[in-house]
Chain A
């Protein structure tokens, strides 16, 4: 699903001037950062868990084929079916086929980023199925016909007034006439509306946070319980998951569970963690009659062999989004696809193509907070830098930037000329900005000066200041 606005810069401009979005973002980001920090401070083993999680993921990636085969064998033994989708299109086709064979009409869905990635809702709707998202945040953005703006809090960009308006529009025909202003009332109303759907659904689709090779289980992590109602009450349960989500054992899954909620929402653990293994047993009283897992590759196996392999450790916690100054300023929709923030800026070009997402790896200050908080220690700034390098090498970098980089490189290789140029530049900047201490306009720097002043130089280069400082020391 593409977000509105044709180019990244245009979308950013819209986002920065959207007062409601800015209010919502300001409200959200501080909370997650603070709660995570509290959890980390309360768990001395957190760093050791990160290292273990990284090692387990690397071990799995090195043996990915073997672990997927083991996982498949266990799922099959428990009466489930594993389907392999090389592409997003294959995944959609497989899922449509399962729904068709089940003679389904209504599909409920728990939150799944993979299903966003493969554009599943549009495909199901186009084929005539009624599709209902059951995670409250996903439900809200489904009503608003928008993609998620955050991978764990999809409606983080919506204010309660906007949600109240959406519920007015969509729930009134169902007989809910009261205009809601309180969050509690909204949650209750959504609960009532969605209850109908859980019990009517033919197919329930969820994601899979982890797949356990030891037992053939898929694990989902939720606070609302919507994923459980989705997968337990429908006749057919379909799990969509990336091929990289497999872990060897139940004990390994625990390592990740200890990291996931703390990193994501700053919770010790979510209200519900559910391991699903196969369909209902012969004498069970509830549970789905069919259990399918769709393993989605969609570019992941290619990533495994190159410089971006470490990205496959990602457990989709969203900590990198919450700690990113760029994400916190522009929100998720500006990134243009389903995965925003630092992890999205790496994944989107890798899945959709370097040229399709040129701006994303460049919209980063390389401040490194994302890497510092990543529970599986993905070197996100390094991966973004590598994407920039590949863009440059494949000629995608625009001519003015290439020229600027060449000029800088030429100067950097000639120290005397470099220092001379810097001295002249700094002198000019300090001369022009003398009166106000800042410059409101500078040739070729409109991108900076359009929205803020450029602080004027202080009259000396760093090298000059450094020499003076050294000279002053005894």
Chain B
């Protein structure tokens, strides 16, 4: 294994015409990459872009309205009244008559509800970070993924998400998921089908704040 490492590094250095390690000497590239400019309110752009990507969006005023919004949504798609909910959202008053589980997702889960770390207006994306209270299987295993997005966490560009993360003092999570619509495939005759392996539906509950 070490042999492979030294062989590869030696060959790279030979090709670069260097004798020894150059790790400390890297001068970072100046300036940053261009960001797509856009006019208007980032939240409105986020909503428009999410809809473009076949997600659905419902606006609510406060967390108190989550219960009703979830009940309505689950009924509208004919899913069962069992929810796999990120523990991070345990404090929310969940609808009566629903079975709520806080755990990693299992095959039987039809619907999950998760928070997100941030959302991005540029492309219409939500960004989740994995952790003990936010297992990442909830993003992929169930058929229906409901995400709660705070309007105040909608940022213009992806770089802004990294800035938020660096400021949060959180360690790098095992998994950062950037999700821009439901699972899809066009592998058979370029015909787009939703729900290839991941969720068939991505539903955003957008909070005013």
Question: Which A residues are within 8 Å of any B CB, using their own CB?
Answer: 24, 27-28, 31, 43-45, 48-49, 52-53, 55-56, 59, 62-70, 78, 83-86, 90, 94, 134-137, 140, 153-156, 158-160, 163, 183-184, 186-188, 190-191, 194-195, 198-199, 215-217, 223-226, 228-229, 232-233, 243, 248, 250-252, 254-255, 257-258, 265, 268-281, 283-287, 295, 297, 301-306
Contacts and interface: CB of A to CB of B under 8 A. Distances in A.
A53 B34 CA distance: 10
A63 B103 CA distance: 43
Given A84-B7, A86-B4, A187-B196, A195 B107 contact: yes
The binding surface of chain B is classed by DSSP as: loop
Contacts of B18: 65
Nearest to A50: B34
Contacts of B105: 286
Interface stretch (B59-67, B91-99, B177-185): B177-185
A126 to B, nearest CB: 22
A63 B193 CA distance: 42
Nearest to A187: B193
B136 interface: yes
B179 A45 contact: no
Contacts of B103: 285
A70 B26 CA distance: 11
Contacts of A153: 186-187, 190
Nearest to B177: A274
A424 B165 CA distance: 74
Interface of B: 1, 4-5, 7-9, 11-18, 21-26, 28-29, 32-37, 49, 53, 103-105, 107, 123-125, 130-132, 135-137, 139-141, 157-159, 162, 172-191, 193, 195-199
Given A183-B189, A229-B140, A283-B132, A66 B25 contact: yes
Nearest to A291: B174
Nearest to B13: A65
B174 A280 contact: yes
Nearest to A221: B178
Contact of A136 (B125, B173, B188): B188
Q: Which of B15, B21, B162, B189 has the most CB of A within 10 A?
A: B189
Contacts of B7: 84, 86, 297
A1 B172 CA distance: 38
A183 B1 CA distance: 45
B16 A271 contact: no
A276 B175 CA distance: 5
A248 B30 CA distance: 12
B21 A301 contact: no
Q: What 4 A-B pairs are tightest by C-beta distance, nearest first?
A: A225-B198, A305-B15, A255-B33, A224-B196
Contacts of B131: 281, 284
Nearest to A70: B23
A156 to B, nearest CB: 8
Given A56-B33, A84-B7, A284-B132, A279 B185 contact: no
B174 A191 contact: no
A278 B131 CA distance: 13
B178 A159 contact: no
Contacts of A69: 9, 21, 23
A259 B34 CA distance: 11
